[in-house]
């Protein structure tokens, strides 16, 4: 598990390095703000398409080959990004990068292979901590390498640094990562007729409890990604903040996320159970979103972000664990791929929805709207927990 943590962590640092650069990089090629938004969405759309494919393929041929191939593809995508000479190449490089990022479903399936039901949530939390730490370090490194002047930024060096990090993760995986899926399970999966992507998605969400869990994961990610997208605009209007202050705040949230998912979620799951953690996380996330519009001072805002960070950080691994426990050993990769597709789609739709609310109703409405959605999640989670008890 430690090896997989470092592989995902290094790879996610590379991903985080690129995020602060893309708007400026696109504008360098005369892209409009709307086009910049499409560029940001391209990565998630490609990831949405690819996740079930990688997950199901990992069920058939094993987790290790999928992880190795996709890491090699990430090296190519980042390198191509660094040498882009047109806006079209930027879009193409990001699409390839997003397609290769679908390998995360294989990483979650790997964790499901090597953990028992009792410590599944802890294992999912370890991968979540790798995400959190990668998103803390990556944007800071990218900003330093690119420089502070947007008109004369160095786009090539950060992209090549991201490629080097993915190459490092590839080498680590090649020499240290063992296959987690047994040969007999792979043989049984290979003997079955391949399930088409949309048929698999439909079959998965049609399962009563599975469909609800995936819906909850979708909605939580939907509102959280909407907050991430609009918060910098909100803080500029509320406090006059710029990128530096927002960077510090998101690093603060990332540290909370890494601490919760990496060290505490397993203990919390053993004490309260994953279903209760989903409910408690929903309540905290709802409260944090609702508090943001009323944050007239920094201490109140920090309190809201603590609620947000803790809520989302206990919900995500708990939902992944519950979904994994509903799946058979021969379909872990496919089920986690479907789940990853749902949450990736929410990262396409959530920012679009939040941006529209911000533009047409005002700066506070993405958070009021998100709180209302989380209130519905609380209701659904409470009903599910009650049925489970009964």
CATH code at position 313:
1.20.1250.20
Cβ–Cβ under 8 Å, residues 219 and 230: no
Q: Which residue has the higher pLDDT, 260 or 303?
A: 303
- Number of structural domains the chain divides into: 1
Between residues 327 and 318, the one the model is more confident about: 318
More confident residue, 387 or 22: 22
How many percent of the chain have pLDDT more than 70?
77
Mean pLDDT of all residues in 64-78: 88
Output the average pLDDT for the chain. 78
- Asked if pLDDT for residue 190 goes beyond 50, the answer is no
Q: Which residues contact 180 (CB under 8 A, 6 or more apart)?
A: 62, 63, 64, 110, 113, 114
**Token duo for residue 163:** 């490629």
Q: Which residues contact 314 (CB under 8 A, 6 or more apart)?
A: 260, 265, 268, 277, 280, 281, 284
Helix (H) or strand (E) holding 82: helix 63-82
More confident residue, 45 or 333: 45
- 295-323 confidence digits (pLDDT tens): 999 999 999 999 998 999 888 888 877 77
**pTM of this prediction exceeds 0.85:** no
Domain that holds residue 193: 2-389
More confident residue, 199 or 292: 292
Helices within 83-178 (DSSP H only) = 87-100, 104-114, 120-146, 156-176
Who wins on pLDDT, 92 or 249? 92
């Amino acid at each position: 598990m430690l090896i997989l943590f470092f592989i995902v962590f290094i790879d996610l640092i590379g991903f985080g390095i690129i995020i602060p650069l893309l708007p400026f990089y696109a504008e360098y090629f005369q892209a409009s703000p709307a086009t910049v938004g499409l560029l940001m969405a391209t990565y998630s759309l490609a990831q949405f398409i690819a996740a079930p494919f990688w997950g199901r393929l990992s069920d058939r041929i094993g987790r290790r080959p999928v992880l190795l191939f996709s890491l090699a593809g990430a090296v190519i995508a980042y390198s191509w990004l660094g040498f882009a000479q047109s806006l079209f190449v930027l879009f193409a490089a990001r699409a390839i990068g997003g397609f290769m990022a679908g390998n995360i479903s294989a990483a979650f399936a790997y964790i499901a292979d090597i953990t028992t039901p009792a410590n599944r949530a802890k294992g999912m939390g370890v991968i979540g901590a790798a995400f959190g730490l990668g998103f803390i370090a990556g944007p800071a490194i990218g900003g330093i390498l690119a420089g502070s002047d947007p008109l004369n930024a160095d786009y090539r060096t950060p992209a090549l640094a991201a490629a080097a990090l993915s190459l490092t993760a590839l080498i680590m995986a090649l020499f240290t990562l063992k296959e987690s899926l047994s040969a007999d399970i792979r043989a049984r999966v290979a003997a079955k007729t391949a399930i088409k992507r949309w048929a698999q998605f439909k079959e998965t969400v049609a399962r009563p409890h599975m469909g609800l869990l995936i819906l909850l994961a979708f909605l939580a990610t939907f509102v959280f990604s909407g907050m991430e997208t609009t918060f910098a605009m909100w803080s500029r209007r509320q406090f006059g903040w710029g990128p530096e202050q927002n960077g510090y705040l998101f690093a603060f949230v990332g540290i909370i996320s890494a601490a919760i998912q990496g060290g505490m979620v397993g203990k919390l799951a053993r004490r309260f159970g994953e279903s209760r953690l989903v409910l408690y996380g929903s309540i905290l996330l709802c409260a944090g979103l609702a508090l943001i519009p009323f944050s007239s001072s920094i201490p109140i805002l920090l309190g809201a972000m603590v609620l947000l960070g803790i809520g989302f950080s206990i919900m995500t691994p708990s939902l992944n664990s519950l979904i994994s426990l509903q799946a058979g050993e021969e379909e872990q990769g496919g089920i986690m791929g479907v789940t990853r597709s749902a949450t990736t789609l929410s990262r396409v739709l959530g920012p679009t929805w939040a941006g529209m609310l911000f533009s047409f109703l005002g700066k506070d409405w993405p958070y009021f709207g998100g709180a209302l959605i989380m209130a519905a999640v609380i209701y659904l989670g409470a009903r599910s927990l009650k049925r489970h008890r009964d």
